[in-house]
Amino acid sequence: MTQPRGSAAKSAALSAALSGAVDLSALKARAEAAQRQPAPPAGPAGGDGPPRPASGDAVIDVTEATFQAEVVERSLHQLVVVDLWAEWCGPCKQLSPVLERMAAESGGAWVVAKVDVDANPRIAQLFGAQSIPTIVAIAGGQPVDAFSGALPEPEIRKWINALLDALRDKLPGIRDAEAAGGPVEEPEDPRFTEAEEAFERGDFAAAQAAYERILDVEPANELAKNALAQVKFTARAESADPDARAKADADPSDLAAQLDAADLDIAENDVEAGFKRLIDAVRRTAGEDRNRVREHLVALFDLFDPADDRVMKARRDLASALF
């Protein structure tokens, strides 16, 4: 059983709010005013001010003064993905390296325009960003799609590929990059290959150990975290007593049956039933038994997108049951 973890509803709402509704030229006047100020001392290369990034750079640091040229005008030729971030933002530090690596692999089909919202608050206000990280795709001088939060890499790749497919005939930079050889194929990570092969042959203990080794070295690796949660769940669900639901319904005090039954519910995509079963068990129990049920339920939440309506409702119900 695999469940997507993307912030689909939240991203759709953000995209709808942005698409065709944000006037990016609002920053143009500010940029032109900044350009009329006395030029700063020449940079190390002897030019006027700090050297501008080359047009082929995959990652660009953008300010209000450079937004018009580096985002709006550049987006007439290639897809620009604006990354609204801040130094203090933990999820930003997980997401930004993924975007930057993927942009570098694209061979120039798209670029990341990084905006420090603390230093450039007007840009964040322009997009109406309520939280960070917020990622906005710009094409033809206008926002075309967006999402917020640190999504897993597979979902980001799917999002980018859909944008490239939709914009290929409109942005020559995409066609030029593909004609020049296209995206650089990312080499397989042998650590993930080992874990995936173990999972496919049903060796869940080996798969779990492989993902845990990755996390020992990279504690923030979201792909490994998500995969580990899936491995642990699959191992439990496959070893669960097939009669657990009947036993749990017949004897609500049978805690082991309740836990197994909830796993079977989730495995068969009866998500609300699985969550409700454990929340009811939390209400009936106390002490160590209650903590055992709560931990099991929280582990099930980790299989889903935090913005999933079913998860959000279950979290509220859990809080009510606990307090």
pLDDT of residue 245: 93
Residue 228 is inside which H or E element, if any?
A: helix 222-239
d(CA 190, CA 136): 32
In three state form, how does the secondary structure of 131-161 look?
CCCEEEEEECCEEEEEEECCCCHHHHHHHHH
Catalytic residue (one of 82, 89, 229, 257):
89
Closest CA to 81 of 174, 154, 9: 174
**Helix, strand, coil % in the chain, rounded to nearest 5:** 60, 10, 35
Report mean pLDDT in 10-residue bins for the chain, 323 residues. 36 41 45 41 36 58 91 92 93 90 91 94 88 92 89 89 92 87 62 90 93 91 88 90 93 94 91 94 94 93 87 93 88
pLDDT of residue 149: 87
How far is the CA of 35 from the CAs of 49, 68, 70, 246, in angstroms? 11, 11, 14, 73
Task: Check if 206 is active-site.
Answer: no
The pTM of this model reads 0.47
Catalytic residue (one of 27, 31, 80, 92):
92
Q: What residue segments make up the domains of the chain, in order of their start? A: 9-31+54-178, 188-320
pLDDT of residue 126: 87
Domain 9-31+54-178 has CATH 3.40.30.10: yes
pLDDT of residue 320: 93
Tokens of 123: 């840009």
Residue 14 is inside which H or E element, if any?
A: helix 8-18
The residues that bridge with 85 in the sheet, in sequence order, are 116
Task: Check if 89 is active-site.
Answer: yes
Decide: helix, strand or coil at residue 183.
coil
Q: Which residue type sits at 275?
A: F
Cβ atoms of 214 and 191 within 8 Å: the answer is: yes
113-140 burial: b if 16+ Cβ within 10 Å, else e: bbbbbeebeebbebbebeebbbbbbbbe
pLDDT of residue 186: 56
How far is the CA of 276 from the CAs of 54, 188, 257, 293, 314, in angstroms? 55, 40, 14, 12, 7
